[in-house]
Amino acid sequence: MSFEQIINGENQETPPLAPVPARVIRTTSDAVDMELLKAFEELQSDDGSDLIVELIDLYLKDAPQRMLAIREAALENEWGLLKRAVHNLKGSSANLGVRLVAETCIKLERIECEHSTEGVRKLLQQMDDEFARASEVLLSERQRRLQ
């Protein structure tokens, strides 16, 4: 996402999964809803493993594959495949609190791809940017939990 897009608050029209104030410059801390992620602590298993670390690992392994599938579908104008892959990424992102990636997925699901390839391209870039920001937060949380 470009600086202009951020200060113009272009996300205002997207129904948020968790409200993010418009016209606020986003930082890495906006990328992940830590409260939602940490709520998984109540499900910790008895075997001593850290469920949150496991979920972060699974997400960081799976999401790039989904994003690659989305990009490939966009390149080949396979809009049905694109929407399906976006749908999958949206679900896991939203549940782990990776809300800005989830919000970008919602925009991608709603866009009329055939009529707005430039719009799709911009959203794919936004998805990459938001995922990079979220990864930073998730990896930092992972590191913290393993110490």
Partner 1 sequence: MLPDRLRVSERVLIADDDPVMRHLITTIIKQQKYEAVVAEDGRAAYRILQSDSDFKAAILDMTMPFLEGLDLIRYMRTEKRLMRISIMMITAEQDIKLMASSFSAGATAFLPKPFTPERLQSAIRMLLGNRHLRRIAA
Q: Which residues bind partner 1 (CB under 8 A)?
A: 17, 36, 39-40, 42-43, 45, 51, 54-55, 58-59, 61-62, 84, 87-88, 90-92, 94-96, 102
109: helix, strand or coil: helix
Amino acid type, 140: S
Task: Quote the tokens at residue 114.
Answer: 């055939």
Nearest distance from C-beta of residue 25 to partner 1, angstroms:
25
Q: Of 39 and 68, which CB lies nearer to partner 1 in the complex structure?
A: 39
Report the alpha-carbon distance of residue 124 to residue 15 in Å, rounded. 18
Closest CA to 123 of 98, 147, 142, 103: 103
CB of 109 to partner 1, least distance (A): 9
Nearer to partner 1, 90 or 133 (CB): 90
CB of 4 to partner 1, least distance (A): 30
Q: Which residues contact 12 (CB under 8 A, 6 or more apart)?
A: 22
**Nearer to partner 1 (CB atom), residue 42 or residue 118:** 42
Closest contact distance (angstroms) between CB of 33 and partner 1 is 10
The CA-to-CA distance between both ends of the chain, in Å, stands at 33
Closer residue to partner 1, CB minimum distance, 2 or 50 = 50
